[in-house]
Structure formats: structure tokens, C-alpha cells
Structure 1
Amino acid sequence: MKTEYKACGGCSEQITDRYIFEVNGASWHGSCLRCSVCYCPLERQASCFLRDGDVYCKTDYIKKFKTSCAKCARSISATDWVRRAREYVFHLACFACDSCGRQLSTGEQFAICEDRVLCKTHYMELIDDGTTSSEDGCDADGSGKGSKTKRIRTTFTEEQIQILQANFQIDSNPDG
């Protein structure tokens, strides 16, 4: 019986070693499986990462491909709550008007002007002053399309929410 040897994804030589490492369907010598950034050996690592044909250790993969907040530049983990606007991603707490610092709510109108997030009030002040136009890199509503205006979302205080919930407990169908 003839043994078939696989070609290594790193050096292209046949693998005759006792152990073969498989990464995304490619076979590797243990000594050839290295991070494409820091060249650390990955044969004893519990995992490695593959992107665009390159192999990475966990540290270099995170450094190279992590998502960062557009405002604070800190990394965004998979468990963080985020807001997205155009190509930008923000931590929930960082998605605030750059003029007044007020955190913006889901559905609230805003603009991104020269990489600054502005609430509707401060965007309108900027427009009324005549210091900017849509050609200057400002995008009202953050949609990037100039489409129809979004409705402003109703927001409630904690006290108002408690009152609404208490009334709902009494009568779950106020219209009926």
C-alpha cells in the first residue's frame, strides 16, 4: 500500500512528519505553521486565524483586524453595544454630539460633518450660520443618501416608564 503525502501550505514540500496541521483545508508542517506578522510558531497554539490567505496568531490578528470606536479609538469587542453611522462604528456612550456632549438615541436625527457627530440642533445652527453645506462633507441624518427625513423618536424618562408600566399592569389594552 502506497502512502500519499500532502504538500505543505507554507513551503510546498511533501509532509512526511508524524503530525500534519490542517488550517482551512491546507496541510502544514508544524515548523512551517507560523504567524505571517511576527513569525511565531503556531504548532503548539490552541488556535490560529486565517484571513485573505494569511495565517495569524491571536495577538496579531486582533491588532490588525480589530474594530475601533470612531470617537475614542478604543477597541470594540463582540459584546459591546454599538451605534453605526455610515462607515463609522461607535461605542454606545461615545455616540454623542461633539458640540453639547449629549448622547444620541436610536432613531434620533443627527449629522456627521467633517468626522464630527452633531445633534440636529447643533447641525441646524451650523447650517444657519452658513459655515457649511452638504458639499463640505456634512451628511444629515447620517444616512449618506439624502433621502427623506427620519422621524424623531419619542424618549421617556425613567419615571415616565415606571408610570406607563404601572398603568399597563392595570389595563393592558387602554384602547379597548
Structure 2
Amino acid sequence: MDANTEYRKTAGLAPQECGGCGKFITDRYLLQALDLYWHEDCLKCGCCDCRLSENGSTLYTRANLVLCRRDYLRLFGTTGYCAACGKVIPAFEMVMKAKGNVYHLECFACQNCNHRFCVGDKFYLCDNKILCEYDYEERLLMASLEFPNKRASLQQQQVNI
């Protein structure tokens, strides 16, 4: 079970046993987290060993492992789902974004011809799909041939990389 837990500094209590080292806490301040008391030096991330008292007031737990935010997201977090392939995007993976959609770098290509975009290339979002300039214009042409008496209306958003 995942837990996003706040901890707080407490003063003026009778000596408590530390949840990390098991020794009594005689410091002026002690931390309270996960229903235990901790020395400031003992409440550490189980991955990177950073002192959680120095990284804000939030810690994360999973499978009895206490983690800082960065390591929790690295190990268990996601950025969301790729709009092209539908697979999970890990939290620290480089992504491309277009109008609220998020893509793996390798998925950011024309969804008609698979052309990979370079810096400066134009692309279009049409019906929530990425199209290169050529395929977008071809789609416009086909729509105008299909409905010659009506002005072809494709909902699109042009974006430059």
C-alpha cells in the first residue's frame, strides 16, 4: 500500500524510542512519522539515504520502505499515459507535449506515415492525432473532394516543434 505521509517536529515530550535506530531520543526535537518517533538523522530515504527532514515535510512509503518524493516517483510514479501508444510514461522519462497530450519521444511521430519530427518541423493535431504537414494537407484535400459544395472543415491545431 502506498502512503503519502506528513511528518512533524515535536518538542517537550518524554524520551521516546527512535523508529530507526531503536535508541531513546534525547534531542530537543524529534520527528513523528508513521506513528513512530525518529531522530532527525534516522528518518532517511531508503534509496538515496537523504535526510527527509531536509526535503520538506512529506515522505512516501511502499512495502515498508520509506522514500523521498524523488525516489518514490522514480520507482513507482508515472507522468501518465502516452497519447499515441497508451502505455505508461515513467515519471522521469523525457517526453513531448502537445496541447495537453503527453508522448514518449519515440512515439512522437506522424500517426499516419510514422515520420519522426525534427526541430522546426510543423505538425498538426487533428482529431487528437499528430499529423505531418503533408498528411494533414492530404486529409484536407480528400475532405474537400468528398464534400465539394461545402467548405472542408477539419478541426486542427498547428504546432511548431
TM, length-normalised to structure 2: 0.50
- Counting strand residues as a fraction of each chain, which structure ranks higher? 2
State the structure with bigger RCO (CA 8 A, min sep 6), 1 or 2: 2
TM, length-normalised to structure 1: 0.47
